[in-house]
Structure 1
């Protein structure tokens, strides 16, 4: 039995949920998200709560049960509060700036790295060494943060590169004479 799947997802006021077959659409103050449930689970809207149940007791249905409930919960949180991910840039001369719909990164290469900001994602640079990524879709916010971090990941000797603000880099000792 899925402990997460058993809990119903509460629907806050100001959020409308539309269940039609396996399609779930959630509309709130920040926007609208859609998700297609796998055929092994069934969602019902009762008393302002969404209950997700497996269609049968197969292993596949039970494994998709908790994931489907979490996806619906993430959609509701996204359209009400939104998601945010923060990146820090460490290194001499490393900096970032937003120019229109492009994030311009100066990361010590011979050229600047230009990252086109996707639709539905907002990127701000409060400081030249800090990047804040916000959006309503948790997966897309995390994917954009991972793609930006991948341009110059943190290295273990001096700690230079782009890292998540809550990430801890395991530092290594350099060569000894």
Structure 2
């Protein structure tokens, strides 16, 4: 049954991107790209194309923020799932921490999942292989060389401490 798990069918506790104003810059930059492209076509000036490409690239990178109905991270009886990463077994997790990172004038909350085994044996389902059109888009995770999976919790629809508490509670329950 575990082998049939896919990103759209995970069950359990799930968190999606928030429905607040995070999508606004994506629409604005997409509109700017269209304006710059039209200006380049009308004037024939090549530098408008560079501005259009930069704006379109920013909008394309942030398209996943618009997908507010799809679970991005969560947990079920098998482990923690992260979109475009996979499903991490409960027994392969050594620690789950919530880190507060000061960035300029704000504090960013990051979920840090420390793995106790190599990544190949920690994943029940591996979703890291993405279609080619998805490669330049935003990922909800990043991984450092120490085996820590880091997830920025700011764009999600639940408070960071609630996500952390729920993951900890499920981790303690399912790994025993």
Between Structure 1 and Structure 2, the one with more strand by share is 1
TM-score surpassing 0.5?
no
With normalisation by structure 2, the TM-score equals 0.31
With normalisation by structure 1, the TM-score equals 0.31
Structure with the bigger RCO (C-alpha within 8 Å, sep 6+) is 2
Between Structure 1 and Structure 2, the one with more helix by share is 2
